[in-house]
A and B are shown apart, each in its own frame.
Chain A
Amino acid sequence: MIALAGAAACNNDTLTNINKNPNSPEDVPTTALFTTAARSSAGSWVGNGYDLRGLEWVAQHLAEVQYPDEDDYKRLLASAGTTPGWFDNPYTAQLEDYRQIIKRASNDPGTSGPALIMRTWDFSYLTNTFGDIPYFGALSGDSIGSGYTPKYDAQKDIYADFFKVLDAASKSLSSASNSLGKADPVYGGAPAKWQKFANSLRLRLAMQLVNVDPATASAQVQAALAAPGGVFASNNDMAVFAWPGDGTYDNPWSVNFSSRDDHRMSQTLMNILNATNDPRIGIYAQPTLSDPTKYAGMPNGLTQATAQPYFNTTSRPGKIFWPAANQSAVAGGTGAGQPAFMMTYAEVAFLEAEAAARGIGGLSAGQAQGFYNAAITASMNQWGVTDATKISTFLAQPAVALQSGTAGQTQIVTQEWIALYTDGGQAWTLWRRTCQPNTLKPGPYAIINTVPRRMQYSTTEYSTNASQVSAALTQMGGTDDFTTRMYWDKSPSAAPTFTTGCGTR
C-alpha cells in the first residue's frame, strides 16, 4: 500500500521515458527529406491535382467529357474544396522540408543549393496561381506562440527575392564539394545541372515581368544567361522528375487514367496541332474511337449533356500517359514510368527566342530564329519525335516558319504553349502574359465570361489567417475572385500581348 503510493508519487524519470516516441524520430538525414519533398513538388505542380485536374482545363490543353465542373470553373471555386489544397499542401509538404534542409545544410551548397532552387520553383507556381502569398514570413510555424499568421507579401517583392535567391544558389553551387547523390531524383546530385536549372528558372521568371517591368525583365534575362553554368543548352539539361513506375510511385497522370476516363484533348490545342500537321499529335493524343484515322479535340466548358456526344468522337490523351491496364478503352499504355517535365530546354530556347525577338537581355532579333527552331526541335525530341525530316518539314510550313515582328513573337509563344503540354500551370501563366493562343476562351457553360486570371485564396486561410488574407486583397487591389489580376498581369505593353477582350467569351 505505502509502497504503491510511493511508487505512484515519484519516479518521474520512468514516466517521462515512457513518453519517448518509438514511432518517429526527432531528427533525420537531409537526403531523406529532399527525396520526399522533391517527389511531392513534382506530384503537386506537374502531376494530378493542380495540373491534370485543374490547370489543364484552364490552359485548354485538355477538356472534360464527363462531369465538366472544373472545365466550367465551378469546381475551381475555393468553396468547392479542390483549390485550397493547391495553396495549403506545398507549404506543409514541400516548402517546410526545404527550409529544414537549408537550415541544416547552410555550409553544404551541394545540398542547400538544390533545396533553394526547388523551393523557388514551388513558390513561383504558388504566387503565379494566387498572386500575393506568404513568403518572407512564411514557414515560421516552429517558433511557438508567434508566427501563426504570416503576412502576405507583394508579388513584386517576391519576384525580386526569387532573382536574389536563384543568383545566390547558382553561385554557391560553383563551389559545391558535396552532392545529394542518388537521393536527388531530378539530377542524381549533379551540382552543375542544378546550376543550369537555377539560371533557367531565373530566365522564365524574368520574362514573366516583361509587360509590367521591362527593365528588370531585361536585366534579369541578361544576368540569367550570363550566370555561371548558363541556362539549359540541350535536352540533357532539362529538369525532369523520373517516376519509377513501380506501382507505388507512378506518374500521377497514369494513376488518374487508371480509373478515370473523363479527359479529352481540348479543341483549342488540337485545332492548332491539326492545322500544322504537328508530328507530336500522335504522342500528345490518341485517335478517336469512332474514327481511328482522326485526331479531334472537344470544346471546353460544356455541360454533362452537351459534352456526352463527344465521348467517342474526340481524342484521349496519348498512350504514353496511360497505365498498361485501366478501366476504359485504352490498352497498352506506358505512362506509369513517364517522366514529369519540371522545366524543359525547349521552354528555355523559346524564352531566349522571345527575348531576342523583343531585343532584350542583351539578345537581338536576329538570334530569334535560331532559338525558335532549336526550341521546336528540342520539344519534338523530348516527346520522341526524332525524325529530322519530319521536323524540318514541320518547321518549313508557312504557319510555323518564324516571321518577323509581332507575328513572330505570336508564333514563338504559341509554340511554347504547345510545348508546355503536361505543365498546365506554366502554360496558363504564359497565356496570361501573352494571350496566345487567342482562341483560348471560356466554354459556353463556364460560370464566368473570362478565363480565370488567378485562383481564390484557400478556405483554410480564411479560417486561420483571415486578417492577413483581407490585407492581401487590399494590397492586390481586388476582390478574391477569378478576375483580380496579379502584379505581372497588369500592364500589357508590346505585342503579342493583348489589350482588351483577351480570353473573354
Chain B
Amino acid sequence: MTRHLHRIAAVASVLLGLLPATARAQGTNISGRVTSDAQVPLQGVSVSIPSLGVGAYTNAEGKYAFTVPGTRVAGQTATLVARRIGFTAKTVSVTLSGSAITQDFALAAAATELTGVVVTALGIEKEKSQLGTAVQQISNADLTQTKAQGVVEQIEGKVSGVQITGSGTPGGSSYITIRGANSILGDNSPLYIVDGVPVSHRDNVGPTNRGANAMGGFDFGSAISDINPDDIETLTVLKGPNAAALYGSRAANGVILITTKNGKNTGGRMRVEGNSFYTFENPSRLPDYQNQYGQGAGGAFEFIDGAGGGVNDGADQSWGPKLDGRTSGCTFVSGFNGGIGIANKYDTSAPCKQFTAVNGGPWIAHPNNVADFFQTGHTASATIAASGGTDRANARLSGGTDNVSSFIPGTYLQKTNGMLSGNLQINDRLSAQSSVQYVRNGGRNRPGQGYGNSILEGFVWFGRQVDVNALKANWQNSATLNNGPDGREFNWNYNYHNNPFFLMNGNPETDSRDRLIGNLSATYKITDWLNLTGRTGSDWYRLNINQDWSPADITGAPVNAAYNGAFQLTNEYNNETNSEALLQANKSYSKVALSGTFGGNIRKEVLNSAAVSTQGIAAPGIYNVSNAAIALQNQQLETRRQVNSVYGSASFTYNGWWTVEGTARNDWSSTLPQGGNSYFYPSVNTSILLSDLFPGIKTGPLSYAKLRGSIAQVGNDATPYQLRTVFNGFSAQFKGLPQFTLSNNIADATLKPEITKSSEIGLELGFFNGRMDIDASYYNKATRNQIFPLTISPATGFTQTTINAGMIKNEGAEALLSVIPLQLANGFEWTSTFNWGKNSSRVVTLYPGVSTVPIGTAWGVNVEAREGLPYGALYGTGFARDSATGLIYTDGGVTVPGAKKVLGNITPSWTGGWNNSFTYKHLTVSGLLDIHRGGSIWSITNYWGDYAGVLKSSLKGREVDWQNPGVVVHGIDVNTCPDYAAAVSKGQCPGGKMNTDTVTSEEYFQNIYPAQEGYVFNDSYMKLRELRVSFELPQRWANRLRASAMNFSLTGRNLYTWTNVPNIDPEVSYSNQAGTQGEEYASIPNTRSVGFSVRITP
C-alpha cells in the first residue's frame, strides 16, 4: 500500500486565512522519518514549516521529503512541525541554509485519530484506515493528566458511546457500559485485557456479597482500579461485539484493551520517566440543610437521655423548636395542645436541654455541622520508571504509589505497584516478551454506604442544632457523659445512629488486595509471512477484609449488645489463566494484501472465598475466631469455570482502499450442559477508503473519507452451577443439628448460550488536512436467549428460575468531532474535541406472561427491565390523582398514595464530553466538560431528608414557626368524592372539592413517603471534569534527568457540577452492578480535587 506525497493543503490554508498560498519548486531539501513512540512508522503525518507554507505527508514507511524554495532560504531559523491527528505535535528548529536537512520525529499518541496504528483484538496492530469496526484509542497522556481514582475514571467523558458513572466513595467503584446494557441481569461491564491477558474487574466481594447499594454495605472498589494509568501506553476501546468478536463470550459488552509501556531501543542508554501528583480533596456537593429548626418533633424537644427519656430526644429528626438562640422554652406548657395558627405556649421557665450540656446552652443552629465533619483530603501519588534497551533487548521497570488520606476523617487508602517488562530478540526468528506487575491495594476505615451505617445517613436523620465539634471531641468518651447507656459511645442520640466520628474510627476496618498479573509470550517467525506466537498469562489476587465492630456501637446489628464487639473476616482468592497459541500470516502482492490468524485458547477461572463472623466476642479488642462468644457464622464459596476456544480471522485488502475481514470463533464452556456446550459465532466487516477510491473528492475541503460496516454475533455462557437445583446449607447449626433448605432458584439443565447479534456502520471524514475530523457510527444490537433468573410466583415454592428467554435491543449512534479551530504561526493552537453517544435500549420480550424483571430495589422503588421500555425502568408508587383534572388527592390534608407506576428510567438520553485545549509555546490550558443528559434518579436522600426535616426544602409550611403557616396541599379532598374507593383506584371524583385542610409541615412531609413519585428526578448534569494548566519546562532540565521533557501542571477534577437535581451529586455509583444504578441514598458526593503534578517524559 502506498500513499502519495502531498504538498500541504494550500486550499485549506487559504480558507482559514492563516498561511500565504505560495509554494515554488527548488531549494533546501528536508527529509526524515516519523515513527510513533513505539517505533512504528507513521503514515500520513503532516511535516511542515507553517511560516513558509511548505511541507509534506509521510508515506507508509513513515518517510517524508520536501523542498523549501530557494528564494525563501536565507539562512534563517524556521520551525518544523510534525503533526497528525491522534498524536501530539512536535516542533523542532531548523536552520535553512541550503544544505539538505534530515530530521526524524517520534510522536506520542494523542486523544483522537482517524488514521494510524491502533491495537485491535488479540493485540494485533492495524492501520485504522483498514478497520471495519469502531474503535477509539486514547493515549497515556489522556489517562494521566489529572489524578483520578483509577483508570476507568480517567476515561470519563473521553470516549463516545461509553457511559461511566463515577463513584463518590474514596476507593469506590464506577459503573461503565459501552453502547448500553445488553444483559438483563448479567454483567454489563466490558472485558478488560492487559497485554493480551484478561484481568478481573470484580466488585462485589465474596460469599457475603458485601457490595454496596442504596440499602447499605461497603464499596470496596473494583479490581480494575489496581492498574496504574502511568504504566499504560495506549488504551483502546473496542465498542461492542463487532470489534471484539474474536474475544468471544465476554466481548458482547465491548473490550477495553490496555497495552502497557515497554522499553525502547535507546542505544543502551537509560531513560527515566516519572509522574507525580499532590492533590487536595473535598466533597463536591453537600445537601442544602435548613438551619431554622432543631431536633425534636411537633415543635418540642428536651434532652434527657437521648433515647426517648426526654421530650422527643429519641427522635432523629429536626421538627423541634425554632433555632432562635433561646435558652429556655423548648418544651410546651403541660396540657397545651397546639395547632395550626394557635400561638405557641412554650414553657419559658424550663431550660432548653441539649445533648452537649444537659442543662442549657442556647438553642442555635450549627449551619456547618455537616461540612465541618469532613476535612481536606490529601492524595500523594508518584510513579517512576526507568527503561532502556538496544536493538536486541529492552526493559522497563516502574514503581508507583498512591497515598490517600481521605476527606472523610479516618479513611486511608494506599496502593503500591511495581511492574517489570521486557522484550528480547533472541535471534532473527525468535523473540520473547514478558511483563509482571504486582499491586497491593489497601484501605482502612472505608465509609459505609446507603442505609444502615453510612456517614451521610447520620446527617439525613439528624438534629440540625447538633454541634459536630462536640461529637468530634468526645467520640472516645462514654455515653454516660450525657446520660447515655453505660458502655456506649458519646453521641447526640442513643436510639439509631452512631456518632459519625465513632463510626469512622471506632469500628475499625482494614482490607488489602495483593495482586500479580503476569504474562509470557514468544513469537517464532516461521517464514517472512508466517509466525507463531504462544502466550500464557495469569491474573491472581488475594483479598482480605477485616471488619471489626466495637462494643460501644449503638446501632445494634451486627454487634450483640451483651458482648464485647463483633467482627467479620473475608478472604477471597481469584485467578484467571489463559493459554493461547496463535498463528499469524501476512502476505502482500502488488495490489492485494492478505492476512490471517488462527488460534486456540484455554481459559481457567477459579474463585475461592470464605467469610467468618460473629456477633459477639468475649474479651474486648481481640477480633479473632478463638475469642468468639457467639457461635461463628461461616460462609464459603468455590467456583470454577473453563472455556476452550478456537478462533481465526482472515482479511483481504485491495489496493489499500478496500478491506474485508471475517472472523470466527467456537467456544466450549464448562457451564453449559454436556452436548450443548459448544457455540460458534462469526463476524464480517469491511472498510472502504473513499478518499483513495475517488481521489478527486480531496480537492475540496474534504481530505479523508472512509466508510465502514460490520455484522457480528457473539455467544455467552452461563455462570457456573446453574444446571442443577441444589439445597443450601447453613454453617450455623441449630442446637448442634445440620440445617438445609431447598434453593429458591430452579435450575435449568438445558441452558443454551446467550447470543448477541450486532451490526454497525461508520463514516470517518477528515477536512482541511487534519484540522477537522469526524468519526461517526450507527449501530444496533440485540441480545436474545438471555440467561437470567426469572422471578416467578413465590407460591411455586421458588422465587426464580433460570431460563433462556427475552431479548434486549440497543440502537444508537456515536460521534467524535475533533477540530483545530485556531492555529497561529506564533505557535498558539486551540484544539477542541467533542464526543457524543446516544443509546436507545428496549426490552423487547421477556417471558410469556412476564412483563417485568426486577434488577434492584430500594425503599419501594424497583429498577426493572420492563417489556417495551428502555432497560432500567424505575417503578414505584405514584400519587393518587384525579383522572379528569390531574390534581392529586388529599385526605386529612395530606397526600394519598396511588398505584405503582413507572416513575422514570435510569438510561440517559445521551452522554458526551467536550474537551478544549489551548497551547501557546510552553503553556497549555485544557478543560473537559462531561455531560449526562436525561435519565432519572431515585433520590432517597431527598425522600428521607424531607421526612426528617433536615433539608432546606422541608421548611415549606414552617416559614414562621414550626406549625405556621402550615401547608394546604393543592389537590382534591378525597373525602368529598362520591366514592372514596373509586377515587383512589380509578381517579374518579365527580364534584370533588378542593382541599382546605391545613396541616403542619411535619405532617405534610411525613405523609408523603408512601408515594415515591416526588423524589424521582431528571438526572441531567454537566461536570467540569478536568481542568489543567500545564507548563513545559526547558528541555535541558529534562535532559539532565535522562528524559526528553518535563512538565509542571496545576490540575483539578470535578470542579463544578451543573444540575437541577436538588441536594445530591447526581452522579452516583455504589458498584459496577446494574441493579444498584439509578438509586441514591446517602451516597458520598464525587470528590472535587485540585493539585499539582510534575511529569518527566522519557
Chain A residues with CB under 8 Å of chain B are 1, 4-5, 7-9, 11-16, 18-19, 21-29, 31-33, 35-37, 39-40, 65-66, 74, 77, 79-81, 87-89, 91-93, 95-97, 99-100, 133-134, 138-142, 144, 147-150, 182-183, 185, 244, 246-249, 258-261, 289, 303-306, 308, 311-312, 323-329, 447, 458-465, 467-468, 479, 481
Contact = CB atoms under 8 A, between A and B. Distances in A.
A461 B636 contact: no
Nearest to B638: A22
B644 interface: yes
B555 A259 contact: yes
Contacts of A468: 793
B741 A1 contact: no
B644 A15 contact: yes
Contacts of A308: 297-298, 308, 311-312, 315
Contacts of B720: 18-19, 21
Interface stretch (B51-59, B113-121, B671-679, B1047-1055): B671-679
Interface residues of B, number: 105
25 contacts: A8-B602, A8-B646, A11-B644, A12-B674, A15-B642, A23-B721, A29-B738, A32-B737, A36-B740, A39-B739, A66-B308, A80-B1010, A91-B794, A96-B742, A99-B797, A141-B746, A142-B746, A149-B793, A246-B735, A247-B629, A248-B732, A303-B1003, A460-B794, A461-B794, A464-B792
Nearest to A289: B309
Contact of B644 (A8, A16, A247): A8
A8 B739 CA distance: 40
B644 A138 contact: no
The 4 A-B residue pairs with the shortest CB-CB distance in the complex, in nearest-first order: A259-B556, A141-B796, A96-B797, A247-B630
B799 A88 contact: yes
A478 to B, nearest CB: 10
A328 B307 contact: yes
Contact of B724 (A21, A74, A93, A459): A21
B728 interface: yes
A142 B616 contact: no
Interface in B638-674: 638-642, 644-646, 666, 668-671, 673-674
A479 B734 CA distance: 42
A314 B981 CA distance: 36
B852 interface: yes
B362 interface: no
B849 A149 contact: yes
B1010 A141 contact: no
B852 A463 contact: yes
A329 B739 CA distance: 36
A25 B727 CA distance: 6
Interface of B: 297-298, 305, 307-309, 311-312, 314-315, 319, 485, 488, 494-495, 532, 554-557, 560-563, 579, 581, 583, 600-602, 615-616, 629-631, 633, 636-642, 644-646, 666, 668-671, 673-675, 677, 720-721, 723-730, 732, 734-735, 737-744, 746, 748, 791-799, 801, 849-852, 854, 859-860, 877, 891, 897, 900, 981, 985, 1002-1003, 1006, 1010
Given A37-B741, A182-B735, A259-B557, 13 more contacts: A7-B644, A19-B670, A24-B727, A26-B725, A35-B737, A35-B739, A74-B1010, A89-B794, A140-B796, A142-B725, A149-B792, A308-B308, A461-B795
Given A4-B581, A8-B644, A22-B638, A33 B741 contact: yes
Contact of B795 (A8, A462, A465): A465
A470 to B, nearest CB: 13
A246 B563 CA distance: 12
B799 A92 contact: yes
A327 B793 contact: no
A142 B891 CA distance: 46
A312 B304 CA distance: 12
A18 B560 contact: no
A287 to B, nearest CB: 15
A249 B801 CA distance: 30
Contacts of A329: 305, 307, 309
Contact of B721 (A21, A39, A140, A462): A21
Nearest to A480: B985
A80 B633 contact: no
Contacts, number: 296
B668 A12 contact: yes
A83 B746 CA distance: 24
Contacts of B669: 15
Given A19-B671, A23-B721, A311-B309, A150 B630 contact: no
Contacts of B639: 23
Contacts of B729: 24-25, 28, 32
A289 B473 CA distance: 32
B561 A134 contact: no
Nearest to A305: B298
A474 B602 CA distance: 58
B738 to A, nearest CB: 5
Contacts of B615: 247-248
Contacts of B737: 31-32, 35, 182-183
Contacts of A185: 734-735
B645 A8 contact: yes
B795 A91 contact: yes
Nearest to A304: B297
Contacts of A13: 674
A66 B314 contact: yes
A460 B723 CA distance: 25
B741 A79 contact: no
Contacts of A327: 307, 485, 488, 494-495, 554, 556, 561
Given A18-B642, A247-B616, A26 B724 contact: yes
A149 B854 CA distance: 17
A172 B170 CA distance: 63
Contacts of B666: 9
Of the candidates B561, B615, B644, the one having the most CB atoms from chain A within 10 angstroms of its own CB is B644
B741 A138 contact: no
A329 B310 CA distance: 13
A150 B305 CA distance: 53
B740 A458 contact: no
B907 to A, nearest CB: 20
B668 A134 contact: no
Contacts of B298: 304-306, 308
A460 B398 CA distance: 54
A305 B670 contact: no
Contact of A79 (B742, B799, B900): B900
A18 B642 CA distance: 7
Contacts of A323: 560-562
B743 A305 contact: no
B897 A141 contact: no
B795 A133 contact: yes
A261 B314 contact: yes
A502 B630 CA distance: 48
Nearest to B875: A463
A99 B797 CA distance: 9
Contacts of B1010: 74, 77, 79-80
B490 to A, nearest CB: 15
A138 B795 contact: yes
B793 A150 contact: yes
Given A15-B669, A26-B724, A92-B794, A459 B741 contact: no
B344 to A, nearest CB: 14
Contacts of A465: 793, 795
Of the candidates B641, B671, B798, B891, the one having the most CB atoms from chain A within 10 angstroms of its own CB is B798
Nearest to A36: B739
Contacts of A95: 797
A148 B532 CA distance: 53
